[in-house]
Structure 1
């Protein structure tokens, strides 16, 4: 018996299968279908070379703490794995223990400690990599102040006292001018290096500090003061959100807008207003347009709606709510085109966080592969 013939779908068919349909009330074709057995006669076995050929990574914005990039050719499960790892498994520093010696502000000790823990910290990347993870004491695992060394714990001091400003104007009402240290900011946290930290987090390499020095910690009035020592340690978002290296880490699918029938004149202007600025524009119908698309033969000289930049679209479905656009437009999203947006809290640059997530996923796969080989043997 001769082997069954493998049918190869055309690029147009493959592209059509990847479109998630966005309808007025429903969403269709949301499940990936590129697996063996879904389409009879087609071979969808995973192929490394084919995956490498289809994989694309393109940066749209790559600022130090804010990046936007597209990853094309992966499954939603992989994209979501990257997102979750960025949020929960890339380690950073955060304040974990606070020893309060004096706090006469109106902010309670426990609230003050919580605020300090949520302040994003940053420091020398090389020093950060050399720091160890803190482990609890076997004798007293609940005491987080034990087992603290220069290899696993960073010390931050905060000592601020509010006093009257004798030089303030007689009719002055602004507290920051009436008093000294009326506001306590994150910049008032002073790093105290110990042991090897004097080298790892030197002024040359980058001392530990608050990423945003203007974060307000508390407000004081004359006679009030705060004196404490805060200890920061390595952690990840799976333990507490304060250790998450990202302010936001999200992805969305690339929007697709298809104008299948002419939208011209006043309808075109109304259609453009259904989208965010820059998504849909207006063009005058030319004779060349009429030659390319017979539907425009009777509209030469009129304004028509054209898709300028679907990337900016939020897929609001507003255009589907108007009767004059029924049957003239199709909305969708590309199933394997993920647009990531990553905003760093400061310890890493945004693009580095994504690379860290890739490395973490790779490590997990290597462990799983090793376990499977052990089981097989």
Structure 2
């Protein structure tokens, strides 16, 4: 294997790959070149999930080894980090767009418009790509509704699949056509193309959907933002629809020893698969045999979230409120106090989920 930089022809664009033999997943012997070849092998599907969407890069320049950790907001030290702003030095074929963070600050983010941009980012050590649910140039209008089914301690992927199948019914009743994928971990992500709406409306639609799912499956699903209230249930993380709160793209590589990937699924597959089935090693063969099973998502007609928003408004009329935003957000209109229920001195019944 080459030990010096190589030039890859990526759909007609030359991309330089430095240190192609550098090992990123030691247990599997997967090198940077292997990762690039993986991305090229699933390229059409990989790009479809990122095309023209502002994208945060999750960079692991030292590869994935035991004991490595991600830098946090509180502690900037770590072996990996999120890069939200486009590098100043970048090829001319790497497109960018201006985005606005919750604080009101603006930044320039990459918006992949070609497969070469993905390979270029992988050369920087990027494993997971986190696209915004918007498409440039309309970067303030959400056109992709995303529901995150997040297993809590005591639950696992099998529990998430049960919730996902019921979620499909809920969304269908609200006029939405959802598509599932593995998160690369224990959870399931469900995406849907929608008519463009504001971030606030998209989040409210996700809250309404989550509340209805929790109403139907109270012993299995929760929308409680506070961990102390979730129990051994699947958490519908509605705040993943808040501005700058992102999910991994389809085909992104999770930084775990197995090199699992976020795998698009058909609904028939949901109760039959396990996250370990989909890795950098196994996904290319699946892709050769089946192509991108999410191609119908991208060609589907965008649907309205109006029914979900009416369900949200009905909840307000019955005494519910908005839900807490992530801690880095400024105080939002209609938001309840960001104090966990065990520390509140007032009635916290607003956190319950009556039937709506």
Could you tell me the TM-score, scaled by structure 2's length?
0.24
Q: Which has the higher contact order (CA 8 A, sep 6+)?
A: 1
Quick check: which one's strand share is greater? 1
| Structure with bigger gyration radius | 1
Could you tell me the TM-score, scaled by structure 1's length?
0.23
